[in-house]
Structure 1
Amino acid sequence: MGEAATETTDRRTPSFAWGGVGIVVLVQAAVLTVLSGGYGFHRDEFYFLAAGKRLAWGYVDQPPLTPALARVAAGLFGETPAGLRVVATLAGVATVVVLALVARELGGGYAAQVVTAVVTALSGYVLVVSHMLSTTTIDMLVWSVLGLLTVKLLKSGDGRWWLAIGAVTGVGLLNKWLVPLLLVALAVAVGITGPRKVFRTWWLAAGAVIALAAVAPVLVWEAGHGWPMLTFAGDISGDDDNRLMFVPLQIAYLSPVLVPVWIAGAVRLWKTPRLRALALAYPILCVVLLALGGKPYYSLPLLMLLTAAGVQPALEWFGRRKARRWWLVAAAVGAVVSLAIGLPVVPTQALGPVLALNKEQGEQVGWPGFVTTVADAWRQVPDPATAVIFTSNYGEAGALEHAGITAYSAHLAYGDWGPPPDRLDGAVLLVGEFDRPARAFTGCRQVAVQDTGIDNDEQGTPVALCTGTTAGWSTLWRSLRHF
């Protein structure tokens, strides 16, 4: 990939490509904004809106940052998909800028920075998580910023960068509990390859104090509630599909076209002694995630860092070969595929092939029909004043709540938000699949089935009308709780 590419730490840092990168992010923001209302809310977005209306320092499955952002976005821009996704768009734009800054920090000039911005904005992973608000959306930005700060720390050896790393880590811990995995991978890598002197400074302790201070209220909440996040994380790690599809899905999520680019980035960093740890951190993180059963996309922000490092040597390599026109064709095809996978540009009736790679597209389809199905079934309830709608998951409860229909669920944080009052001792409209409904509900008969028109989690959802419960809701609630 060229000897010059291995000497990034000895070069003067180029100027930032404000013009080129600015154009890229303006186009990115425009496209995301125009398409932000496509299909509709994702089930998780209903959940974030509901959690945002019940702000707390923690929830059984997540810290408070994303629900808080959902509340702010809904208040400022409206409780609509487009309004909520302003946050996702801004996070996506910021991620592109940060990775262009990584390319600059590694000695990349104008072309390398702009191409980094383009490939980042068009990667399937960034498109998916920039289109809708999720904890992963914020995590992507946090990890990218931590990657940039780590590059600065390793290049300069200036311990003061630990203060910024601590602050960003604190923000990350307010959003999701994955940041420690990145820090562990980086720490182990630096411990193996150096420069280990970055650990021998009191600035590291100061950064740790900042991170702990930021997340302290969440830790107090977790401790007071029995550390529910550990239970939730254990449920995720039990999914063997995460391990089987770990490598293939990472390649597919980022884009197969970018494989030679991030490989070039890994080689480039490995040949740069002060930055070698960044190349080693990625396989270390993958090993940790495979051992824990983590989801394949958890490590993608670190893979994006390798991609940013690989753009300049890739440009130099392809510039010397006539085959570059074929790579451009492949890149164009890859971009089209990423757009189809990540954004609502494919008609819903043709989403089948897309769902094989991005099932989240399907989770944005069919919610208005779902609400109508439940509302129609509710009309069959003999005495609505004493009846309850009880759903099997947070998405169903959130969609009904957003539509102004009172519904309860024992799933995740909805379980903490309480059972129906015991005075509601009449009929129960059961929405969804339940493991053991006979233990809690009596006289159940199916009255409707949801047809979303596509193969998503709500396709075929049954709706049953039950005559009542076997005990009061407060008595049953603990047995109904589930993660």
Structure 2
Amino acid sequence: MRLNFPARQYPLPKTDHRKSMTRKTTILLAFIALKFLLQYVLILPSYDLHRDEYLHLDQADHLAWGYMSVPPVTSWIALIIKTLGNSVFWVRFFPALCGALTILVVWKTVEALRGSLYACVLAATCTLFSALLRLNQLFQPNSVDVLCWTTLYYFLVKYIQTRSPKWLYGIAVVFAFGFLNKYNVAFLVIGVLPAILLTEHRVLFLNRHLYFALLLAIVLISPNIIWQYQNDFPVFHHMKELSERQLVNVSRADFFKEQFIYFIGALLVIVPGFYALLFYKPFGKYKLFFFSIVFTLVVFTLLRAKGYYAIGIYPIYIAFGAVFVAERLKSVWLRAAFIIIPITIFIPVSRVAFPNKTPKEIVDGSGRYKRAGLLRWEDGKDHEIPQDFADMLGWEELAGKVDAAYAQSPDPESTLVLCDNYGQAGAINYYSRKNVNAVTFNADYVNWFDLSKKYKHVVRVKNAWEREAEIKETAPLFNNYSITDSVTTPYSRERGATIFLFVNAKVDINARISREIQEEKW
């Protein structure tokens, strides 16, 4: 007899873990790909590099453990860029890479906080569509700085979760790398240490591994400290000059205003994140992060810091906020809205925050730039276009015209190309077809004069408003001189910069340069 048993009812199989991880990885990679794409398309090819970028690129030819304005990490990256061909593509690639890695660290922080896939996507969206898109366009220490801040906070989260000493040593290594990139990372420590004292994590100061990690950090940064000592601590001179010329024009009210602007699309996540750090029970052990941001912002405010110095603070708080918001939002429509809002806000912001319009178009629509405060330069005055954009114009023209003047010299090999500022010197060195070694008594170039050559002629690049003074001061030292050309690019900060050719010196040029160098260093 045949028995007919009912078919066995097996439970539906759970979603395969590998498929889930593959889906997660695919979404993450999509964000990273979009990050790279936006970094390149949000800038018109007609813009040159920024004046600061030329200085950093020139550091590749003058490797040292320190420079007058920055520690050495930027020069290491510049050397890699030079090895890869020194093209604009690679100059923009590495800041974009730092931005992509920042998104990755934020994503990993959400995962460490047990956030869902939606929380990861929300955090990545808020991080992507923020001021980081502008920051990551320029080859400056700032992109590495933000990455180091975010990574340090992430390692602190992991230490709180595991109490494993390896995270303390990881913090030490990242801090040292961040310090060797930009001293700004010290303000993170200034904020975190008192915050630890205010919470139950104060027992950390009884952990011997903390002091071993501190020793490791000191050893790693010591080459730069020794360099500073050997060079009479130029960082203090730079900070004094910065305070007198730029930070004195920084309004504390503007500092806080800029904090809102930088991550305006992420405020719906960041603000709940602050609340969660104080009152959300699963975040109870992370309360020190709330106190940390308070201490850091207070110090920045007291020192009249520029607004962008604090950008590195916020990505970690986006991670906290995304986890909390994702846990609270159950409606599909609300979840979709929280993803759409940062993108929607970014669209009008992108119309003014990026060099994706010609200078003429910016001037014609200057109202929106003025309302956003973008026409105000570091001198405290409003100008025709944003300062950063003006600093990305006229450089290639300048280099071409200096090349032409250099070729007119009776003996190019004994001709010095002397500029007024580091932007001019760096841009000439970057774009020159004549392998010109331009220098200036400004910034690190004061250490880069090649006095093994005997100079008889000078190609001089002088700011427009000092043209007559240059003729009066320098012309008597030579048998002949001519004005060969000037920068004509509209709206360039260097517009009007005049190119002189002084030939057949009547005095010892090398001796005068040596005196100038000593006076500048003194």
SS at match of 1:441: helix
1:150-189 paired onto structure 2 within 5 Å? 150-189=156-195
Q: Which runs of 5+ in 2 are unaligned?
A: 1-19, 377-385
Match of 1:58 in 2: 66
CA distance in 1, matches of 2:174, 2:266: 28
CA distance in 2, matches of 1:441, 1:237: 32
**How many residues in Structure 1 have an aligned counterpart in Structure 2?**
465
Offset, 1:212: 1.4
Quick check: 2:457–2:501 contact (8 Å CA) kept in 1? no
1:468-479 paired onto structure 2 within 5 Å? 472-479=512-519
Match of 1:7 in 2: none
Match of 1:251 among 260, 266, 287: 260
Matched, 1:127 2:136: no
Change in Cα spacing, 1:94 to 1:326, as seen in structure 2 (3 Å) is closer
SS at match of 2:418: strand
- Which stretch shows the higher mean deviation, 33-42 or 135-144? 33-42
Q: Which runs of 5+ in 1 are unaligned?
A: 1-13
CA distance in 1, matches of 2:69, 2:489: 27
Match of 1:8 in 2: none
SS at match of 1:205: helix
* TM-score under structure 1 length normalisation: 0.85
Match of 2:31 among 24, 30, 47: 24
Letter in 2 for 1:75: T
Letter in 1 for 2:267: V
CA distance in 1, matches of 2:309, 2:342: 24
Quick check: 2:129–2:265 contact (8 Å CA) kept in 1? no
Letter in 1 for 2:91: L
CA distance in 1, matches of 2:188, 2:292: 8
Offset, 1:61: 1.3
SS at match of 2:388: coil
Letter in 2 for 1:408: V
Matched, 1:461 2:461: no
CA distance in 2, matches of 1:200, 1:294: 33
Matched, 1:374 2:402: yes
Match of 1:108 in 2: 115
Offset, 1:411: 1.1
Offset, 1:322: 7.6
Residues 236-271 of structure 1: per-residue CA shift (max 9 Å, x gap): 2332233442112222233x2322321111111122
CA distance in 2, matches of 1:215, 1:322: 50
Change in Cα spacing, 1:431 to 1:419, as seen in structure 2 (3 Å) is farther
Q: Percent identity?
A: 21
Residues 321-342 of structure 1: per-residue CA shift (max 9 Å, x gap): 9888877665333222454456
Quick check: 1:57–1:64 contact (8 Å CA) kept in 2? yes
Match of 1:356 in 2: 375
Radius of gyration: which is bigger?
2
Letter in 1 for 2:95: A
1:44-443 paired onto structure 2 within 5 Å? 44-76=52-84, 78-124=85-131, 126-238=132-244, 239-244=247-252, 245-254=254-263, 256-271=264-279, 272-315=283-326, 330-341=341-352, 343-352=354-363, 353=366, 356=375, 359-378=387-406, 386-402=414-430, 403=432, 404-418=435-449, 423-432=454-463, 441-443=474-476
Residues 364-421 of structure 1: per-residue CA shift (max 9 Å, x gap): 3322122234345556767656543211111110111121323221111101113656
* TM-score under structure 2 length normalisation: 0.79
Letter in 2 for 1:234: K
Change in Cα spacing, 1:224 to 1:207, as seen in structure 2 (3 Å) is same
CA distance in 2, matches of 1:187, 1:139: 19
Residues 195-252 of structure 1: per-residue CA shift (max 9 Å, x gap): 2112220111111122112112111111111111121122223322334421122222
CA distance in 1, matches of 2:499, 2:393: 18
Residues 316-364 of structure 1: per-residue CA shift (max 9 Å, x gap): 6666698888776653332224544565532343245565386434423
CA distance in 1, matches of 2:167, 2:458: 60
Quick check: 2:406–2:459 contact (8 Å CA) kept in 1? no
Quick check: 1:15–1:109 contact (8 Å CA) kept in 2? no
